[in-house]
Amino acid sequence: MGRAIKTGILSFGMSGSLFHAPFLNIHSGFELVGVVERKTKKAQSIYPNIKSFDSVDEILNDSEIELLVINTPSPTHFEFALKAIQAKKHILVEKPFTVTSAEAKKLYAESEKHNCMIMPFQNRRYDSDFLSVKQVIESGKLGNLVEVHFRYDRYNYNISNNRVKESNTPGNGLLYNLGPHVIDAAIALFGLPIKWSKVKKGNRPNTQIDDYAHVHLEYVNGLQVFAIMSLLAADAQKSFVLHGTKGSYVKDRCDTQEMHLQSGILPDSPLYGVELPNQEGILTTVEDGIKKQEKIISEKASYLSVFEDVYQTIYNKKEYPITRAQIIRQIEILEN
């Protein structure tokens, strides 16, 4: 392991405190130098040596910091990412990467000009449930895939008090919030779709944003992928349903790592990232007319793998797993 990459985080709310700081603190390839805390100052009580900045501009002007995590509200990602690149800092950008594909292309162009690395933060590629789906596909037990359904269900009938997320601002809404997860899952597993269509609806009383979205992706080999997101699913459906010429695979979304982080189980714990019992996926295959079912136990997973990818990209110049073509196509699907 080479020298530690000095890193800052633009926000220390749920995202910064749960999904970034614990991993940056544990991974020996990073030194967590500072965070932006506009109002409540709590980072130093957890990380005594950390700097607390009052503004984004202040952390941007710190010449010591080499990598910035862009985890501010969605509509601000492009502005802050561009400023960070122009300050010659590498960036790790949460979803949605940008609001428009034109903005995404601009960031990549600027990154080449300033010799900075751009890394979209698609942590759901390292969820145990997603990895079990990938494992089953790669085993060949499903044969040629015909139809795939990815869902992200929640139930929030009432309008939340988060005025930023609930406002009718470009980049807000359920499609931009959860869509990057399910669309990236399809792109990671099957590549770039050749056609797509979508539906967005606002069903809650007085909502200013979409709370339901449905995206249909079509592939050159005939595969049909349906990605559905809903804030009005009181009974969450199976999150991964795959049908192929030889069988089917069905799996619930587990959110194991988020649950562990919220309960105080840190990434260096042996318990971290291990799914609870009875959350196995079900693989159903048919051979010679005989149906067979087996439980697929998900392997332990960790978002620490994201940060290992970031380290290898910056320090050893390895290609980052989420490519420019993938993220631009994702944003094209979200915006068109």
Give residues with Cβ within 8 angstroms of 9, minimum separation 6: 16, 20, 21, 24, 32, 34, 35, 36, 68, 69, 71
pLDDT for 1: 62
| Domain membership of residue 297 as a residue range | 124-301
Does 330 fall in a domain?
no
Q: In a structure prediction context, what are the per-residue pLDDT tens digits for the chain, which is 336 residues long?
A: 668 999 999 999 999 999 999 999 999 999 999 999 998 899 999 999 999 999 999 999 999 999 999 999 999 999 999 999 999 999 999 999 999 999 999 999 999 999 999 999 999 999 999 999 999 999 999 999 999 999 999 999 999 888 878 999 999 999 999 999 999 999 999 999 999 999 999 999 999 999 999 999 999 999 999 999 999 999 999 999 999 999 999 999 999 999 999 999 999 999 999 999 999 999 999 988 899 999 999 999 999 999 999 999 999 999 999 999 999 999 999 997
Residue 336: inside a domain, yes or no?
no
pLDDT for the residue 76? 96
- The answer to whether 150 touches 226, Cβ cutoff 8 Å, is yes
258 and 282 share one domain:
yes
Give yes or no: residues 278 and 163 share one domain.
Answer: yes
b/e 163-197 (16+ beta carbons within 10 angstroms → b) = eebbeebebbbbbbbbbbbbbbbbbbbbebbeebe
Please indicate, yes or no, whether residues 280 and 131 belong to a single structural domain of this protein: yes
Rounded-to-integer distance, Cα 11 and Cα 76, Å: 12
Q: Do 218 and 318 fall into the same domain? A: no
Say whether both 137 and 180 belong to one domain.
Answer: yes
Give the count of domains, the chain: 2
Q: Is residue 268 part of a domain?
A: yes
**Coarse DSSP helix, strand, coil percentages of the chain, rounded to the nearest 5 percent:** 35, 25, 40
**CB count in 10 Å sphere of residue 20:** 27
Query: Each residue of 70-95: pLDDT tens digit?
Result: 999 999 999 999 999 999 999 999 99
Judge whether 211 lies within some domain. Answer: yes
Structural domain contains residue 333: no
Does residue 269 sit within a domain?
yes
In this structure, are residues 126 and 301 in contact, taking their beta carbons and an 8 Å threshold? Answer: yes
CB contact at 8 A, 44 and 68: no
Shared-domain flag, residues 136 and 58: no
Residues 112 and 154 in one domain: no
CA 139, 141, 146, 149 torsion: positive or negative? negative
Domain for residue 329, yes or no?
no
Q: Are residues 181 and 219 in the same domain?
A: yes
232, 204 in Cβ contact below 8 A? yes
> Is residue 215 included in any domain, yes or no?
yes
Q: Are residues 164 and 287 in the same domain?
A: yes
Q: Is 108 exposed, middle or buried (0-12, 13-18, 19+ CB in 10 A)?
A: middle
Q: Are residues 184 and 314 in the same domain?
A: no
Residue 288 has a pLDDT of: 87
Please give the share of the chain, as a percent, with pLDDT higher than 70: 99
Query: So what's the pLDDT on residue 100?
Result: 98
Contact 183/130 with Cβ under 8 angstroms? no
Q: How many CA atoms lie within 13 A of 18 on its CB side?
A: 13
Q: How far apart are CA 105 and CA 318, in angstroms?
A: 21
Which helix (H) or strand (E) segment holds residue 249: the answer is strand 247-251
Do residues 132 and 206 share a domain? Answer: yes
Do 220 and 234 contact (CB within 8 A), yes or no? no
Are 38 and 159 within one domain?
no
Indicate which CATH number applies to the domain containing 81: 3.40.50.720
Looking up residue 294, the CATH number of its domain turns out to be: 3.30.360.10
